[in-house]
Structure 1
Amino acid sequence: MLRGLGGGTFAALGLGGLGRAATWGATASPLLWQRDVVYGEISGQPLLLDIASPPPRGTPRPAVILIHPGGLVAGDRSFLADHVPLFAGAGYVAVNIAYRLFSEQDGTNPWPAQLDDAQRAVRWVRANAGTLGVDPTRIGAFGHSSGALLAAHLGTRETRDDPGADVGADVGADLGDHSSRVTCVVDVAGKMDLTLASQDAAMTPRTVALLGGTVDSPPEHAVLGDFSPVTWVDGETVPFLILHGTGDTLCPIAQSRRMVTALQEAGREIVAAEFPTLNHYTILDWAVIGPETLAFLGRHLHPEESWGVGVAVR
């Protein structure tokens, strides 16, 4: 049995392999791909995203922003590439984003550069909603690990900065009029609370460096609070789905449990489940989390139709 985080319960879901995006759906679908789309530029560095869309229709579709893991110091869009057609095949415009990574060598791109980019991506999608065929009022976020941390921030706080004209729609228009808050969040094994990190080993040396600290001079509590989505939960926080494996040794499951508690105490909608034996990476098995993920997104984003997903041509 699966025990829901925070006391809820779920029926057990079948286990299986993720495969190459060819097992979810019965027929091949004519997904439309746009790759390496520039959604901003910072100091000459383009910020890129990939988009997979179902066939055009007369009414706009909801969108899902996918945010890759890597501790905010590594990783790229390829990590969630197999998930992109799974969301597009379910009727969503799937947007797989890259963001600036912190350099442990020279200290460039410290926090909150990654948050700024994730928020910018959401605003870019809203600014270009007409062209993309997206309903700007129906945008969800899906993230794994550190990507889940960024996704959680998109559901708990508004835009941190206003970069203005240099990173707008078409990399030239102002994004200031567009919100970065999403409609709902799917958090898969994310670190949510670094304010009590010493209790569960969630703090790593590279996270200390990312936040401007050192071994001898750790980040200040206020910085840890800014980094932790749990501290931003309030009455405006959007609905959350939180998924975590009990076999996760990289991100302690206590992180998700604390986020569940914060959401419950704020009276916000929370659906959560713990999966026995799954670890930090096997938790991404779509045969396990796909049904609950799509059910949750469907309740809040209403895709209205889906397309069978066959082999995605990249």
Structure 2
Amino acid sequence: MKPFVFLITCFSTMTIFSQNSVLPLWPKEIPNSIKSDEIEEIVNENILRISKVQTPTIEVYLPAKKIATGQAVLIFPGGGYGILAYDWEGTDFAKLLNSKGIAGIVVKYRLPSSKSATEKHKVPLQDAQRAMRLVRSKAMEWNIDSNNIGIIGFSAGGHLASTLGTHYNEAVYAKQDEIDQLSARPDFMTLAYPVITMGEINTHGGSRKNLLGENPSQKMVDHFSNELQVTVDTPPTFLVHATDDTAVPVENSLLFYAALRKSKVAAEMHIYPTGGHGFALGLSDPHLASWTDQWIGWMSGLKP
């Protein structure tokens, strides 16, 4: 059977269910964006893959008020900074979070591989910072505690999450409105089989190439090697990885955990012997599938 492929230029106006909404990130001009003939593409073949993102958005899943905990998690799907595994590492997790009383917000962020992007290395972080500020601005409306908003990222989305967690104060775009006065710092973060380092030994080559280009300077490599950017103000972090991950070596999580320990940042890490890369909910392995229980338990123990 041929995959179901369709192109969409107005995904930001789509509403999936009555309680879920899709909001554009940028009220005015999208920073570091130029007009091109590129069209956003969505391919649905087992996994919903979005590429060539033109209009970055957040898709908001809110739990029933009766069970709402006040927590919220922004979700950054992975895909090597070339595509977004939008349901596998996005909406599936938003639905899981809702069942636990937690708001789940999927971020459809721009990809540096798009020819509509200028200063390509900046665009994912621009969208991530704006997404955090936008969610924080909606806290009262969405029954969310503005001091209990975290993030989760997978693979390259884990690199973006760890970049937001360590570069949240970096001025990467000009302020557009009062929302941009709010903090972009996550209150906690979860990194699932994340790309952390841009150093050649342990990085994921595709993510590095898409984000930084073919021959990045050492300064750029160091800047986006997030194990080098951890400080005492880095948010508490939960890490999960599989030892047999051949795409993104487990050393990425180990490096970040060591940096967190050095800066005395609260951290929890789960390393599974098997699981490979991109296991998401891990439902194919009963042992691996327990990681989401550990994650939800960790979040429930955090104090805003």
Partner of 1:176: 180
Q: CA separation in 1, counterparts of 2:55 and 2:116?
A: 19
Q: How many residues align?
A: 258
| Counterpart residue identity of residue 90, structure 1 | K
User: 1:205/1:244 Cα in 2 relative to 1: closer, same or farther (>3 Å)?
Assistant: closer
Unpaired runs of 5+ in structure 2?
1-16, 36-53, 284-288
Unpaired runs of 5+ in structure 1?
1-30, 166-172, 303-314
Q: Give yes or no for contact 1:241–1:293 (8 Å, CA) kept in 2.
A: yes
- For residue 195 of structure 2, the aligned residue among 191, 195, 200 is 191
Q: CA separation in 2, counterparts of 1:240 and 1:58?
A: 25
Deviation at 1:59, TM superposition (A): 8.4
Deviation at 1:225, TM superposition (A): 1.7
Q: Give yes or no for contact 2:192–2:239 (8 Å, CA) kept in 1.
A: yes
Partner of 1:113: 123
- For residue 257 of structure 1, the aligned residue among 247, 251, 254 is 254
**TM-score of the aligned structures, taking structure 1 as reference length:** 0.75
Residues 1:52 and 2:61 are matched in the alignment: yes
Q: Give yes or no for contact 1:62–1:138 (8 Å, CA) kept in 2.
A: yes
Deviation at 1:77, TM superposition (A): 2.8
Q: CA separation in 2, counterparts of 1:295 and 1:58?
A: 16
Q: Give yes or no for contact 2:63–2:101 (8 Å, CA) kept in 1.
A: yes
Matching of residues 12-27 of structure 1 within 5 Å = none
Helix, strand or coil at the partner of 1:251 = coil
Deviation at 1:174, TM superposition (A): 2.4
Q: CA separation in 1, counterparts of 2:58 and 2:23?
A: 5
Higher relative contact order (CA 8 A, sep 6+): 1
Q: CA separation in 2, counterparts of 1:117 and 1:204?
A: 23
Partner of 1:8: none
Partner of 2:205: 204
Q: CA separation in 2, counterparts of 1:36 and 1:264?
A: 37
Deviation at 1:182, TM superposition (A): 0.7
Q: Give yes or no for contact 1:235–1:266 (8 Å, CA) kept in 2.
A: yes
Deviation at 1:109, TM superposition (A): 6.0
- For residue 156 of structure 1, the aligned residue among 166, 185, 196 is 166
Q: CA separation in 1, counterparts of 2:261 and 2:136?
A: 29
Q: Give yes or no for contact 2:240–2:271 (8 Å, CA) kept in 1.
A: yes
User: 1:72/1:109 Cα in 2 relative to 1: closer, same or farther (>3 Å)?
Assistant: farther
Deviation at 1:240, TM superposition (A): 0.8
| Counterpart residue identity of residue 302, structure 2 | H
Partner of 1:27: none
Residues 1:38 and 2:24 are matched in the alignment: yes
**TM-score of the aligned structures, taking structure 2 as reference length:** 0.77
Q: Give yes or no for contact 1:76–1:98 (8 Å, CA) kept in 2.
A: no
1:251-288 CA distance string (max 9 Å, x none)? 01111111111111111111101101111122531623
- For residue 281 of structure 1, the aligned residue among 278, 283, 294 is 278
- For residue 294 of structure 1, the aligned residue among 290, 293, 296 is 296
| Counterpart residue identity of residue 152, structure 2 | F
- For residue 144 of structure 1, the aligned residue among 146, 154, 161 is 154
Q: CA separation in 2, counterparts of 1:205 and 1:146?
A: 9
Partner of 1:232: 229
Partner of 1:311: none
